Amino acid sequence: MANYEFKLPDIGEGVVEGEIVKWLVKAGENVAEDQPLVEVMTDKATVTIPSPRRGVVLQTHGSEGDIAKVHQVLVTLDVGAGGPSAAASESKPALGGGNKSQPVSARRDAAETNGGSQGGKVLATPVTRRMAREHGLQIEQIVGSGPQGRVTKADVMAAIGQGAGAVATEKMVPSPIAPPRIGPPSPLTTSRADQRVPLKGLRRRVAEKMVRSKFTAPHYTFVEEMDATALSSSRSRLNESLAASGSAEKISYLPFICKALVAALKKFPTLNANFDEATQELIIRGAYNFGIAAATDEGLTVPVVKDVDRLSLRELADEIARLGTAAREKKLRVEELSGGTFTITSLGQKSGLMATPIINHPEVAILGVHRIRKRPVVVDDQVAIREMMNLSLSFDHRVIDGAIGAEFTYALIGFLEHPELLFLELR
């Protein structure tokens, strides 16, 4: 009998801990090599961690909902006296590079292989399937967060857009972590009773990040409007020529905004930076990696477009689209969620007049983009109809003075109002 301690590996850049979402094995169970052991949610992603060894589970360490530190023992296996999988090096218990970037979606595949005969079908209970059907959702389009990747009622509720709060109105949210306490039957009181919904998973990560950002970085927010008429017509002309060349592709405003940001940030490099709390240093980043905040069924996710400065408008458009889809389908890889230098939050159709974006810690600035609308404005003492857009930028006041932030904003607006200026920046 040989015991093997499997430790939480370093599964992504800078990840130091993960929440144990779901144990997929229990003590006494035989596990095969590569059999999923546990689902762990880091502040980057949820990953299923497969067993590096074949053996019998002697003990699982930590309960669902507990935080496990990297290199903390997760599972103790009895791997016998030199079984066939002994080749797996004990000196490398952590997953190798390949595993490090294991797609989140692999959870389902692994579980099905494990289960043996799912035949690629989505796992979901009948009630969950009905709920999806009644809301016009295809269950295949919903990524499951339950055991073995099962699509849960909560997943469907999230997909419907009602989020965690709506889930709480459901009669019962069985949870492997803490089954809700439901008292004696009393229909009247159940409908009026307060509900306590524990923060779990991504929601907990989002909450923690927001708190950290807001309580470590003193924010100030700067709002200005800009005239997007030229940008709009440039974009229209580009899309028309794309269409004329037979492409179905359409480029949104975001790639233009990214390019303008690169140009502006080059003038104000301290805004393309991370702040290291430990050393109290500002790390001015060489790369231009922009986080694009995306609302997903489970909560806020920020995939990162790498090397924005090196991508063409079309490449940027493709990459933003790809990451957006991956985010909704929860297929983002860990590295696609990390390494950002600056973040854009596109506030969409219901974007309001202004907002106070929260900086994506440890970055130092964030740009909120509002909707372009035709508004009457004064141009050359005449009231003219122009396509106007507001920008809301938040800065970490510890390192970015108000004047710098304002100047940066006007530089950015300059590029956006006169997109031809970007030619000057081309290399």
Q: At what angle do helices 402-417 and 253-267 cross, to 10 degrees?
A: 130
Cis check: omega of the bond before 303, within 30 degrees of 0: no
> Which one among 166, 182, 193, 243 touches other proteins, defined by CB under 8 A?
182
Told to check if 267 binds other proteins by CB under 8 A, we report no
Catalytic-role residue among 61, 219, 397, 418: 397
Distance separating alpha carbons of residues 149 and 105, to the nearest angstrom: 9
- State residue 298 phi and psi, 5-degree precision: -95, -15
Told to check if 153 binds other proteins by CB under 8 A, we report yes
Q: Name the minimum Å distance from CB 174 to other proteins.
A: 5
CA atoms within 13 A on the CB side of 49: 32
Told to check if 28 binds other proteins by CB under 8 A, we report no
> Which one among 171, 192, 350, 427 touches other proteins, defined by CB under 8 A?
171
Q: Name the minimum Å distance from CB 177 to other proteins.
A: 10
Of 30-38, 171-179, 305-313, 410-418, which part binds other proteins (CB under 8 A)?
171-179
Q: Which two tokens stand for residue 7?
A: 């430790």
Distance separating alpha carbons of residues 39 and 47, to the nearest angstrom: 6
Q: Which is nearer to other proteins, 182 or 211 (CB)?
A: 182
> Which one among 42, 76, 152, 392 touches other proteins, defined by CB under 8 A?
152
Beta-strand runs (E) in 161-310: 219-227, 273-276, 281-284, 290-292, 294-296, 299-301, 304-305
Please compute Rg for the chain using Cα positions: 25
Q: At what angle do helices 253-267 and 229-244 cross, to 10 degrees?
A: 130
> Which one among 7, 61, 150, 398 touches other proteins, defined by CB under 8 A?
150
Q: Which is nearer to other proteins, 130 or 214 (CB)?
A: 130
User: Any catalytic annotation for residue 397?
Assistant: yes
> Which one among 65, 80, 103, 147 touches other proteins, defined by CB under 8 A?
147
Q: Which is nearer to other proteins, 64 or 425 (CB)?
A: 64
Distance separating alpha carbons of residues 255 and 286, to the nearest angstrom: 20
Q: Name the minimum Å distance from CB 155 to other proteins.
A: 10
Told to check if 138 binds other proteins by CB under 8 A, we report no
Sign of CA dihedral 244, 245, 250, 254: negative
Is the separation of the CB atoms in 179 and 160 below 8 Å? Answer: no
Q: How far is C-alpha 56 from the chain's CA centre?
A: 35
Told to check if 165 binds other proteins by CB under 8 A, we report no
Told to check if 169 binds other proteins by CB under 8 A, we report no
Beta-strand runs (E) in 159-255: 219-227
> Which one among 93, 146, 255, 357 touches other proteins, defined by CB under 8 A?
146
| Coil, strand or helix at 1 | coil
Q: Which is nearer to other proteins, 65 or 180 (CB)?
A: 180
Restricted to residues 105-134, the positions that interact with other proteins (CB under 8 A) are 125-130
> Which one among 179, 269, 286, 402 touches other proteins, defined by CB under 8 A?
179
> Which one among 161, 174, 198, 269 touches other proteins, defined by CB under 8 A?
174
Which residues are part of the catalytic machinery? Answer: 397
Which residues contact other proteins by CB under 8 A?
125-130, 146-147, 150, 152-153, 171-172, 174-176, 179-185, 190
